[in-house]
Amino acid sequence: MSYTLAIKDIRNVTHDVLQIRLEKPEGYAFTPGQATEVAVDREGWREEGRPFTFTSLDTDPFLEFVIKIYPDHEGVTDQIGQLSAGDNLIIGDPWGTIEYKGEGVFLAGGAGVTPFIAILRDLHRKGQIGNNQLLFSNKTERDIILKEEFETILGDQFTNVITQEKPSSEHVFLDGVIDKAFLKSHIKDFGQPFYVCGPDPFNNAIIASLEELGASPEALIFEK
Helices first, then strands: H and E counts in the chain: 5, 12
Query: Under CATH, what is the fold of the domain 3-91?
Result: Elongation Factor Tu (Ef-tu); domain 3 (2.40.30)
pLDDT of residue 170: 57
pLDDT of residue 166: 76
pLDDT of residue 210: 97
What string of DSSP letters covers 48-82? --EEEEB-S-TTSSSEEEEEE--GGGTSHHHHHTT
Domain ranges (residues) in the chain: 3-91, 105-221
At 146, phi and psi to the nearest 5? 55, 40
pLDDT of residue 138: 94
Query: Under CATH, what is the fold of the domain 105-221?
Result: Rossmann fold (3.40.50)
| Common-topology check for domains 3-91 and 105-221 | no
- C-alpha distance from residue 29 to each of 17, 61, 128, 144, 203 (Å): 25, 11, 22, 29, 28
* Nearest-angstrom CA–CA distance, 119 and 100: 7
pLDDT tens-digit profile of 32-62? Answer: 999 999 999 999 999 999 999 999 999 999 9
Residues of the chain with pLDDT under 50: none
